[in-house]
Structure 1
Amino acid sequence: MSRIAVVPGSFDPITLGHLDVIERAAGIFDELHVLVVHNPDKAALLPIAQRVSLIQEAIAEAGFGDNILVTSWSVGLLVDYCRDVGATVLVKGIRSQVDVAYETPMAIVNRDLGGVETVFLLPSPAHSHVSSSLVRQVSALGGDVTPYVPPVVARFLQVPGDVE
């Protein structure tokens, strides 16, 4: 039986912390779906298709294994996607107690609604302070985001006219 897991997130944009969690989860599970989802509580910087593309390029540049599929989901519950692909586990990166407080109720509901367990992974300490919102702020103010994002994202964000 294949162990399939899903790493959901808005990934707007993907950070080195996200990549760290993805790489480690890919080493644990036979098949890993990196799922770009719409978060109605956040104002998106990048369209979903652009986020998927950047994640695919970042994973390819990093040389991760071939057991990772990057896709998006915008209709229905996350547990519906898990059921459709046969995933029984969600993997979430946790940076702080704030993330634990935010993620715990969702983990319980996902287990109740679809029998999907949630596994929390801590990022490496070098990336534990990085968030997509921090990257968006630094980028919007003309700062250097290269310490926080994969090279493909840094190149994309530094190209004038690509992001408003």
Structure 2
Amino acid sequence: MNTILFPGSFDPFTVGHQSLVDRVLPLFDRVVIAVGVNSGKRSGDSAGNRIAEIERLYAGEPKVRVISYEGLTVDACRREGAHWMLRGVRSAIDFEYERNLADINRRISGVETMLLFTLPEYAAVSSSVVRELCSYGYDVGEFLPKKQTHF
């Protein structure tokens, strides 16, 4: 089974994340959305809630599996049988960072990274921006998938 793992904090899962998953779905037998849990990092929502939201969004899509993980992402790839990792690129700065990370991940695990460029309409959307707007009472609905009911 050809599996790709899409790691992130997804706090929250945005329309940009959804776009990347939807674009890669036709290319793989299975897409594992892996919600990273970092006990040292403060999150806007619990990992359980984030997972539940993403599962609701992809309910009815048998190729999508949602998990949580701690530790190195390449170890999560190994556990899931994923030989590929999906990463989104919004800017040249993102590209340089992701390229270096992809090189290290390939060296230590053999996992290849697929970089997809974010669609232009989503280039400015990030989870941190959505969280900040939300904290000031702004309606962030346009930045969240339409099926998403929480945040």
Question: Structure 1 stretches (4+) deviating beyond 6 angstroms?
Answer: none
- The equivalent residue for 1:5 is 4
- Aligned match of 1:52: 51
Higher mean displacement: 79-88 or 131-140? 79-88
Structure 1: which 5+ residue stretches go unaligned? 158-164
Q: In 2, Cα distance between the equivalents of 1:43 and 1:98? A: 24
Match of 2:62 among 45, 66, 72: 66
The equivalent position to 2:116 in structure 1, one of 100, 117, 121, is 121
**TM-score of the superposed pair, with normalisation by structure 2:** 0.92
Rounded Cα–Cα distance in structure 1 between residues aligned with 2:40 and 2:126: 15
Q: TM-score, normalised by structure 1?
A: 0.85
Task: State the match for 2:88 in structure 1.
Answer: 93
Q: Answer whether contact 1:19 1:59 (CA < 8 A) is retained.
A: no
Q: What whole-Å deviation, never above 9, does each CA across 1:40-68 have from its counterpart, x for those lacking one? A: 785311111111111111223xx6x3201
- Cα RMSD between the aligned structures? 1.7
Does the Cα contact within 8 Å between 1:8 and 1:90 map onto a contact in 2? yes
Judging changes above 3 Å, is the alpha-carbon distance between structure 1 residues 130 and 41 closer, same or farther for their aligned structure 2 residues?
Answer: farther
SS at 1:57's partner residue?
helix
1:109 partnered with 2:104: yes
The 2-side partners of 1:34 and 1:156 are apart by 18
What is the one-letter code of the residue matched to 1:37?
A: G
Query: Number of aligned pairs?
Result: 151
Q: 2: distance between equivalents of 1:85 and 1:13?
A: 23
Match of 1:71, SS state, is strand
Structure 2 unaligned residues grouped into runs of 5+: none
Tell me by how many angstroms 1:7 deviates: 0.5
Residue 78, structure 1, aligned to residue 77, structure 2: no
Q: Deviations over 1:56-110 (max 9, x none)?
A: 11223xx6x3201011101x32111211221110010111112112222211111
Counterparts of 1:10 and 1:144, CA distance in 2: 21
Shift of 1:152: 4.6
The alignment-based identity, stated in percent, is 36
Distance 2:56 2:19 in 1: 15
